[in-house]
Amino acid sequence: MKVYISADMEGIAATAVWDEVDRKHKDYPAFSKQMTSEVAAACEGALAGGATEILVKDAHASGRNITAGELPKEAKLIRGWSGHPYSMMQELDESFDYVLMIGYHSWAGSGDNPLSHTMTGKAAEITVNGIKASEFLLNTYTAAIHKVPVVFLSGDEALCKHAEKLISGIHTVGVKKGVGDSVITMQPEKAVEDIRLKVAEAVARNSNDCLIDLPEHFDLMIRFNKAKDAYKASFYQDMSLEDEQIVRFKTADWMEVLKMIQFVL
Ligand SMILES: [Zn+2]
C-alpha cells in the first residue's frame, strides 16, 4: 500500500502567528519540530494501518521544515519545490492508494484561523464553482485526477468541518480553533497521538467513500488584495478582468487551473 502525505504548517497544533512558521524567526524551531512530530505520527499511523511505502511532500514555504531523520525508514521526503504545477502534491500519481493531509489551514478570507490563506498572500478570496477554495480543496481535486482518495486531514477545526462536508468518509483531527487573531489549541503531544491513531484507522478501512468526482467544468474567481495583481493576472491566457481586483478563469481541464495558479498567484 502506497501513501502520499502533503504537509503544511499553518494548521499544525499551536501555530498562531506568522513568526512561528517563518524559518528566519527565532520562534520557528519549536513549531517546525511539532510539524515533524505530526508528520512522523501520520507515517507511523499509516504503517500501522498497512502502508508499505510513504512519500511525504514538505509543502510549507521553503519546503524545508521537516527533519528527514525523524521520519520512519519507510518514508521518503520531498524537500524544496520542483516548479511542477502539482506544487503541494508533487509526484502524486495513480500508483498511490491514499492521500493524507497534515497541518492544513482554512482558505483565504476565513476568520477561523489567524494564518488563513490560499497558496500565497496575494488572494483575498478564491472560489471554484462558487466554493471557497482552500489548499485542501485544490489538492483534493488534484488527487481526484488520479483517482486517489483523500482519507485523512489534520488542521484547524473549520477546515476539518469543511472537509467532512466534501468527503463523507474522511477522518480528521482538528488540532486548533481560530478565534480572531488567537487560537485555542490542543496540547501538542495529544495532537500527535490523535493523528497517529486516526491515520491508522483511516488507511485500514475501505475508503470508497473518500473518492470525490472531479467536476467537469471549473469556473474560478480570484479576488486579489491589490488591483495591480488583478491587472497583471488578466493578461494570462483566457483570464478576464471582472473588476479592479477580480479576475475569472474558466476551463474543463484541472491541469490548466493548476498552471494558471502557478503563474498568477
Ligand atoms: Zn504553509
Phi, psi at residue 78, to the nearest 5°?
A: -95, 115
The predicted-structure confidence for 42-71, as pLDDT tens digits, reads as follows: 999 999 999 999 999 999 999 999 999 999
* pTM of the predicted structure, to 2 decimals: 0.97
Ligand 1 center to 9 CA (angstroms) = 5
Cβ count near 27 (within 10 Å):
14
Burial of 262 (0-12, 13-18, 19+ CB in 10 A): middle
Cα(44)–Cα(234) distance, integer angstroms: 45
Q: Which CATH number fits domain 2-107+135-210: 3.40.50.410, 3.40.50.10780, 3.40.50.720, 3.30.9.10?
A: 3.40.50.10780
Question: Which residues of the chain fall short of a pLDDT of 50?
Answer: none
The predicted-structure confidence for 193-218, as pLDDT tens digits, reads as follows: 999 999 999 999 988 899 999 999 99
* DSSP label of 118: B
Ligand 1 center to 217 CA (angstroms) = 28
Around ion ligand 1, residues with a beta carbon closer than 5 Å are 8-10, 60
Ligand 1 center to 53 CA (angstroms) = 25
CATH 3.40.50.10780 positions along the chain are 2-107+135-210
Give the model's pLDDT for residue 77.
Answer: 98
**Residue 254, SS3?**
helix
Ligand 1 center to 34 CA (angstroms) = 14
**Residue 241, SS3?**
strand
* Nearest Cα to Cα of residue 245 among 237, 234, 259: 234
Ligand 1 center to 82 CA (angstroms) = 16
Ligand 1 center to 61 CA (angstroms) = 6
Per-residue exposure over 85-113, b if at least 16 CB sit within 10 Å of its own CB, e if not: bbbbbbebeeebbbbbbbbbbbbbbbebb
